[in-house]
Chain A
Amino acid sequence: MSDRLRIVGFLCNWCSYAGADLAGTTRLKHRAEVRIVRVPCSGRIDPVFILKAYERGADAVIVGGCHPGDCHYVSGNLNARRRFLVIRKLLEFIGIEPDRFEVTWCSAAEGEKWAKVVNEVCDRVEALGPFEAYKAITPPVRGPVKEVTTGEE
């Protein structure tokens, strides 16, 4: 199991998460590597979440939000969009292949799109191989929370 890819998906509650639900209700089979974290809006996603995911050994990160202009919260995804452009640059700068980062605008009706994105990213990351290099390159990011470790509390 240890060579299995791990991909973290941050999905907004109203569009992408619902889109992923729709992929389910319509039984659209796709690859199983993505672990989904539900957030209210793509605007909620702090860049540190993404870095944290890499630091925790994610081989890739997918961010999903409503289509620009369709945001449940008026303009949250526009803020997010700007932020992700910066993140992409930052990732490049610290040496994380841009192919390991995907932003997708996926509506509640686009189950098919979600399944497709998952498959594409999985294929792409498979080609790149597991993200072994993270130890060397991820900067020490620290959330405001003390690190949670497994084992006992």
Chain B
Amino acid sequence: MKYAFYPGCSLESSASEYRISTEAIASALDIELVEIPNWICCGSTPAHMSHELLSLTLPAYNLVLAMNVGTEGVAVSCASCYNRLKQANHAMQDPIKRGKVAEALGEIYDGTVPVKHMLEIVSEIGAKRNLKDLVRVDLSDIKVAPYYGCLLVRPPDVTNFDDPEDPQIMDRLVEVLGAQVVKYNFKVECCGAALAFPQVEIVKKLSGQILLDAKESGADIVIVACPLCHSNLDLRQRDIEKYLGIDLEIPVLYFTQLMGLAFGLSPRELGLEKHLISPDSVLKRIGIKV
């Protein structure tokens, strides 16, 4: 299985561990990821807030590049990039928008390059072969709260990802990996997303609610599929604790890292040391030396 890989900006820097762990599980699952050469930023939220055409042209540019890689489609790790690429594909069904984008790009993009989030790719593989066979480490002691956030599942007619109100892909993955799934109420509530920079107070409140609900529902860790969510839940967790006036101390892992752990990869290979909230205590519990 070969995919054109679109890492997105965050995986180049602040989410480097997401990239490392994604590549690690990709090789464990025989997914060949060919990075799209010279890909550029998808524009993220600021682009659609300020320039509609730019917010379509940037993803289209990347998708055209991806076509040249010659694969089954584009694999994306970041939920925000995923959303933007899907939005562009969706918008290309409108001939007027398609025309404008073609004018800007100097070539026609018809919106047909398939875009998949790594979670979808993993779940497709899971449907074909038993991922349990790859599990080496017993995770049955850890309670995991899967956090999906906004941009994977919404708007449903664009992303067409899973049940927008109660998605199950990560829940099922956690089960297959042998850990316990925590049912809680905020798995698709917004973490504050792009307001991270300009409106920290809002992020503290929204992300705080999510972490608190996960914690109160018994979660040892939260897993995410988006660098933006991760930065809000992990990087800002100390600020959130201050804001809420309580200790949360709840490690936030990428789902790829949890998979890697289950498959027996070392914390180093998964970049687990990079989180601000250290997962060490959890690792110890499953018998991993840190």
Q: Judge A-B direct contact (beta carbons within 8 Å).
A: no
